[in-house]
A and B are shown apart, each in its own frame.
Chain A
Amino acid sequence: MDTLNILIMGFISIVIINNLVFTKFLGICPYLGVSGRIDMAFGMGMAVTFVVTLSGTLTWMIDNWILMKLGLEVTRYVCFILVIAGAVQLVEMYLRKFFPTLYESFGIFLPLITTNCAILGLCLFINLWGINNLLEAVVLSFGAGIGFTMAICIMAGIRENLNLADVPQCLKGAPITLITAGILALAFMGFAGMIR
C-alpha cells in the first residue's frame, strides 16, 4: 500500500506539480513549435511519452546496474544521449512500418525528439531525485510524458482559439505565444507545495 501511495503521488507530482514544461522549462522547442494544431500536438505528446518512458526506464537500468557499479557517473550524459537517440530511432522505424500515416504527419518532428531536453532532463532528474526503484522510475518517466502531452495539448487548445482573438499588431505571432506560455507556467505554480 505504501509503495502504491508513493507511485501515485510521484505520478501526480510529475504530471502537475513538477511538470517538466511548466516548472522546469524543459522541452520548450516542441512545446512552442508543434502546438499549432491540437491533433498534431497530441501526436507529438504521444511520441514523446513513448520515447521518454522507454528511455527513462533504460537509462535508470544502465545508470544503476552499470554506471554506478563501475563508478562511471561522469559518463551519464553521453550514455543517456545514446539511449535516447537509439530509442527515437527505434520508435521511428516502428512507426514507419506500422503507422505510416502518423509517421508522415510527424515529418521532421520525430527525429527532433532526440534533442528534446525534457527527455534528457527527466533521465537526469530521476537520478538527481535519488529514485532507487525500477517501478518508480518507470512510473515517473511515463508521468513525465503524460505531463508533457497535457502541457502541449493545453497550449495547442489555447493557440487554436488565439487565432480568432483580436491580438494587438505588435504582439501577433511569437510574442503572444510566449506570453501565453508564461501565464500558463504561472498558473501551474499554484500547484507548488501541494504534496510534501
Chain B
Amino acid sequence: MRYHTRECVEENLAEMLELWNSAWPAGATMLGLGFGFALVLLIASEKLKVWVDPKVEQVHGALPNLDCGTCGFAGCGQYAKAVLKNPELIGKCAPGGPETSQKIAGILSLQVSDSGAVQKPIVHCHAHTADKTYYAKYQGIQTCIAANALANVQACAFGCVSFGDCIRACKFGALSIVDGLATVDYDKCTGCTACSKACPRNLIEMVPFRYENMMTVACSSKETGKSTRSMCKVGCIGCGLCVKQTEQFTVEDNLARLDYEKYEATEQTETAMNKCPTKVIIYRGKTKNPQDKPGG
C-alpha cells in the first residue's frame, strides 16, 4: 500500500516535471515578446507624446462617456474638445443633462475667471410692455428675427421685441420674458454668449461682471431724445446728466453708455443713477436688494 502510494506520487511528479519542461519555453517566449513590445511601445509613447490640454481631460471626465453622438460629435472626447473651443456648445449633452452642463460650465468659467472677470450678458433695454408704444399688433411668425424684419413691429426700433429668440438659444433656462422684456437670471447664467448672438437687435452684450451687480444704461435707442421719449417711457434721451457726474459715462449718438472696463461703484455713479431723468440707469445682476426689480 505504502509502496503503491509512493510510486503514484513519483509518477505524478514526473508528469508535472514533463509538463513544466514543455511549458516553460512557451511562457518565456511569451514574456520575452511581451516585454519586447512593451519596450517598443514605451519608447514610442515617449517619442510621440502629444500635449493635451488638461481641461479636455476634465471636461471629458465630467461627461457621461456614453459616446452616444447626440451632441453631433463622434464621441465624448471630440465633444469635450469642441466645447473647450466654443463654450456655446454646452448643453448639447442630452444624457448628461443640466448637471453635466453645470459641471462643464464650472470648468470653463474657472478658466474665464482666471483671465479676468466673468463675462455675463446684460440686456440693454428696460422697456416693459407698459412702457412701450405699439402702432399695431404683430401677428406674424413668433420669433424676434421675423418680427425684426418688419419695420414697425413696435415703435422703438432698438428695444426688445420679446419673442424670445434668446430664450430658445439659452441652454440653461436662464432667460425669460418678464412683462415684455427679456430678463436674465444670473444665478442660472453661465456666460456662454449664446443669447447675445441670438438677439437680432444686438441688445444683449457680454459684460465683465466685476461686481455682483453691474450698473448699466439699459437702453440702446439712438433716436434723438425727443423721439425716444415719444416712443418709450424709459428710454435714454442722451441728456448727458450722467456724464457730468463721472467720466465713466459717455454719450454718443444720443445714447449714454457706461464704460464697463472702467466701471467702479462710486458716489458719483450713484448720483448719476439718481439724477437720470428717465431712470434708465439701473443695476443688473444677482440683485439682493428686494426693491430693485430682479435684473429687470
| A residues in contact (CB < 8 Å) with B | 62, 66-67, 70, 72, 74-75, 78-79, 82-83, 86, 89-90, 93-94, 96-97, 100, 104, 107-108
Contact = CB atoms under 8 A, between A and B. Distances in A.
B50 A96 contact: yes
B25 A96 contact: no
A74 B44 CA distance: 30
Given A72-B25, A107-B74, A108-B74, A90 B33 contact: no
Contacts of B29: 66-67, 70, 72, 75, 79
Given A96-B48, A97-B48, A107-B74, A75 B26 contact: yes
Interface stretch (B34-42, B148-156, B219-227, B253-261): B34-42
Contacts of B67: 108
Nearest to A74: B26
Contacts of A97: 48-50
B48 A82 contact: no
Contacts of A70: 25-26, 29
Nearest to B27: A75
Interface of B: 25-26, 29-30, 33-34, 37, 40-41, 44-45, 48-50, 67, 74-75, 78
Given A67-B29, A70-B26, A93-B44, 5 more contacts: A72-B29, A78-B30, A82-B34, A90-B40, A96-B48
Given A70-B25, A90-B44, A108-B75, A82 B50 contact: no
B40 A86 contact: yes
Contacts of A94: 44, 48
A149 B209 CA distance: 56
17 contacts: A66-B29, A70-B29, A72-B29, A74-B26, A82-B33, A83-B33, A86-B37, A86-B40, A89-B41, A93-B41, A93-B44, A96-B48, A97-B48, A97-B49, A104-B74, A107-B74, A108-B75
Given A70-B25, A70-B29, A75-B29, A82 B78 contact: no
A168 to B, nearest CB: 28
A83 B26 contact: no
A90 B78 contact: no
Contacts of A108: 67, 74-75
Q: By DSSP majority rule, is chain A's interface helix, strand, loop, or mixed?
A: helix
Contact of A82 (B26, B37, B44, B74): B37
A70 B33 CA distance: 14
Nearest to A71: B25
Contact of B41 (A66, A75, A90, A104): A90
Contacts of B74: 104, 107-108
A48 B34 CA distance: 22
Nearest to A58: B37
Contacts of B49: 97
A62 B45 contact: no
A96 B44 CA distance: 12
A106 B34 CA distance: 27
A32 B230 CA distance: 69
